[in-house]
Structure 1
């Protein structure tokens, strides 16, 4: 199983349809977050995220580099066959005009 890249706009549509959005950044990096994103820091192996079978999972970091470099770990962290990596991370999300909010 592999993770596929997804644009911010396509990711937003999937999230509206029930996809699980997962932020792999460390807590101290989260000055801004995407509403509804679950926190699963990469330092913990991005563990603890549960998704029902068939429910897409979208991972994001700040710029997208960390999710790409650790795609194998992220794929192994969830029991889903539909896994995506947000292109550009939260920076790409913001650049696409999608909303963020103050972090945790």
Structure 2
């Protein structure tokens, strides 16, 4: 098993921009709907199946959650299933927002997305 590799918000942002990262959000649907990182794909931990993850052979999979704990759990599940995934956004959404990086959120008054 590979040790978990912590990635910074800046590394994730650069990887998304140049399409080298497939960002997997393992939070639950309500959390994802409330706010998310543009370009992230939802694979909730409550129904997580490592074998259902995409693998285009070009982009590395990187996991994220709210604080970093659930993404580490997803990595452990992947490795138990024989997959080599081991990268995550250290500090999760909290770190992303602390770095003042953009999120997509829903305006509760209108139901419309705001960035």
SS at match of 1:58: strand
**RMSD of Structure 2 on Structure 1 (CA):** 2.5
From 20, 29, 42, give the equivalent of 1:27.
Answer: 29
Q: Deviations over 1:15-60 (max 9, x none)?
A: 1121101100010222110011000001112543302124211100
Question: Could you say if the C-alpha distance between residues 70 and 36 of structure 1 is closer, same or farther in structure 2, counting changes exceeding 3 Å?
Answer: closer
Higher CA-based Rg? 2
**Structure 1: which 5+ runs fail to align?**
none
Change in Cα spacing, 1:76 to 1:11, as seen in structure 2 (3 Å) is farther
Contact 2:7 2:88 in 1 (8 A): yes
Would you identify which runs of 4 or more consecutive aligned residues in structure 1 move more than 3 Å? 74-79
1:52 aligns with 2:56: yes
Task: Determine if contact 1:54/1:82 at 8 Å carries over to the other structure.
Answer: no
Scaled by the length of structure 1, what TM-score is found?
A: 0.82
Match of 1:101 in 2: 104
Q: Structure 2 unaligned runs (5+)?
A: 107-112
